[in-house]
Amino acid sequence: MAIATASAVPTSVLKPKDSITVIDNRTGKSIDIEITNNSIPATAFSQLKAPYADGERPENDTPYGLRVLDPSFINTAIIQSEITYIDGNKGFLMHRGYPIEQLAEKSSYLETAYLLIYGELPSKSQLDLWNWEIMHHTFVADDLQQMIRQMRYDSHPMSVFISAFSAMSAFAPEANPALQGSDLYITNKPLMNKQIVRILGKATTVAAMAYRIRINRPFTPPRSDLSYTENLLYMMDHMAEPNSYRPDPRLAKALDILFILHADHEMNCSTSTMVHVGSSLVDPYSCVAAASAALYGPLHGGANEAVIRMLAKIGSVENVPDFLERVKEKKELLFGFGHRVYRETDPRSKVIREVADMVFEVCGREPLIEVAIALKDAALKDEYFTSRKLFPNVDYWSGLIYKAMGFPLDFFPVLFVVPRLAGYLAHWKQQLDSGKNKISRPRQVYIGKGRRDYIPVEAREARPITGKTGLNAIPHYISKRRLTKI
């Protein structure tokens, strides 16, 4: 498969040092702030304070100096990183300097994971050891398996995945800074490496278990002689076939490329959660559970699932114009379109189109593809979408590929989170290795009520239960066969 290499590969992304002068027009105070790598420290603004005389400060006004308000982190950097670089205007993505197109064509998922986590492509012997360790940390403890088995047959696989990682923390007391000391991962790097291979190794096993619960089949033990994605497909699908059973290598390869494309994407919602939670020095299993929960939402890793539900709801090509009208009226969201960072194109979606063709060749063309293509073509010609720089993102196509491969819809986010663990771990390691970790603690701008005194309940004004001002009456299931009604 030939994958185009991006033409604009920046050799360096660092900018020279410079400065910016800010004048507070309330007081005339001027401050010079150093610009480093095209960024300024937000803390510099705290020098600018409102000009109140003593005792005149309004009740809700902050005494701490000017705050930088940035809900949803639209333009706030929370780390300095050497891992992943995105140029959103050019549609360019690279990991540790290597363009994503080259990694997708030439690397493997586990090799890319090594690159992300340790900073360089591994030598042959480093890669062999890395693969061996990960494929020999795939077993999940028997009591954890039993816990996973207790989850309901209709649990969303992401709920199972998150719960399993959360529980893993309880199965590894030696890896828990709460028990072993808060500087555990600052001082004990071999222990850190061990958790990294354990997390990557167990992720596919837990993913396959989350799938097998849904179809009421026993768990399949992992096989260390298979590749990472082959083993995942094997654990999902193996039944009573002899041990020579192998998943189709073309699909294992396609999945491996998809895993490379999903391995990291710098400060997305879930990776920033990993960094945020990790900053408290909690154990990495709890961090992974929290980050995976952030990924699960429909605006993030749940979008690939939402795309298929949307295409199925549209149903056929004739219904595309009506659907787009509803999107423009803001009655619907066009899932799989738009991105906070990319403004022209998502480089991963170009590669993924080629993977789609590989998969359709093996599994047959996914019927919803006609609707998907008509929807994409119509949206890309429509001023509403072009003026807002909305175009297909990686999730637009990945869902179609997963559906063609026969994965159930609710399993799609699992196929996103498993490879994203490499990115989570790379950022977790970078943060703890930096020697500069401080607990993440954002500020807020309070806009609520001023100070007031407590009123006893008997003295408060009567207010009806409307459902708008507080808790409304919640309907309870009451059996018709009860003698006493509640």
Backbone CA torsion sign across 116, 118, 120, 123:
negative
For the question of residue 427 being annotated catalytic, the response is: no
C-beta nearest to ligand CMC: residue: 338
The minimum distance between CB 270 and ligand CMC, in angstroms, equals 8
Q: Helices (DSSP H) in 215-302: which residue ranges?
A: 228-237, 249-262, 269-278, 284-295
d(CA 230, CA 224): 10
CB-count exposure of residue 228 (10 Å: 0-12, 13-18, 19+): buried
Q: Which range touches ligand CMC (CB under 6 A), out of 42-50, 140-148, 294-302, 459-467?
A: 294-302
d(CA 231, CA 209): 13
Q: Does 96 bind ligand CMC (CB under 6 A)?
A: no
Residue with tokens 């410079």: 18
For the question of residue 300 being annotated catalytic, the response is: yes
The minimum distance between CB 324 and ligand CMC, in angstroms, equals 9
For the question of residue 237 being annotated catalytic, the response is: no
Residue nearer to ligand CMC on the CB measure, 283 or 305: 305
The size of the interface with ligand CMC (CB under 6 A), counted in residues, is 20
Q: Which range touches ligand CMC (CB under 6 A), out of 112-120, 221-229, 279-287, 300-308?
A: 300-308
x/- map, 371-390, ligand CMC, by CB under 6 A: -----------------x-x
Task: Give me the DSSP letters along 338-384.
Answer: --SS-SS--HHHHHHHHHHHHHHHHH---TTHHHHHHHHHHHHT-HH
Q: Does 264 bind ligand CMC (CB under 6 A)?
A: no
Which has the closest alpha carbon to 115: 138, 141, 94, 133? 94
Among 137, 262, 265, 300, which one carries the catalytic annotation? 300
Q: Which of 91, 222, 338, 419 binds ligand CMC (CB under 6 A)?
A: 338
Q: Does 359 bind ligand CMC (CB under 6 A)?
A: no
Query: 239 — phi, psi (to 5°)?
Result: -120, -110
Residue nearer to ligand CMC on the CB measure, 192 or 390: 390
The minimum distance between CB 21 and ligand CMC, in angstroms, equals 30
Q: Which of 323, 337, 397, 407 binds ligand CMC (CB under 6 A)?
A: 337
End-to-end CA gap in the chain:
66
* Residue 428: both structure tokens together: 């977790």
Residue nearer to ligand CMC on the CB measure, 197 or 415: 415
d(CA 359, CA 404): 7
The minimum distance between CB 379 and ligand CMC, in angstroms, equals 9
Provide the CA 63 distance to its chain's centre, in angstroms.
Answer: 36
x/- map, 393-412, ligand CMC, by CB under 6 A: xxx-----------------
Q: Which residues are designated catalytic?
A: 300, 339, 395
Q: Which residues sit at the interface with ligand CMC, rule CB under 6 A?
A: 265, 268, 299-301, 303, 327, 333-340, 388, 390, 393-395
